[in-house]
Amino acid sequence: MSKKDKLLELLNMSKAADDAIIQIMVARHPNFSSKELKGKKLRQCIDEYLKAVYERAGQEEFNLIMNYRDPSINTGGLTGVLRRLK
């Protein structure tokens, strides 16, 4: 296989990856538009999206721990524990 063929194969794989990402995003978010998003720009957009999702998930987990309610534990979350310690 020549270098040109290898390069074309990589470009085709990249295009296939871009298409897969777009299909996934459209399935999860119907208002997602891939207009003008191709290659590196598309990957940067997805990277920012994933960081935001994980940051939000981390914040939700933090809020859950701080405000956790379970009668068998009876702490009222860390917020309740911290209030009682004051």
DSSP state of 35: T
Rounded-to-5 percentages of helix, strand, coil across the chain: 75, 0, 25
Amino acid at 24: I
Model pTM greater than 0.75? no
The 10s digit of each residue's pLDDT in 11-64 is 677 777 777 777 877 887 778 777 877 777 877 887 788 788 888 888 887 777
Match 């939000």 to its residue by tokens.
56
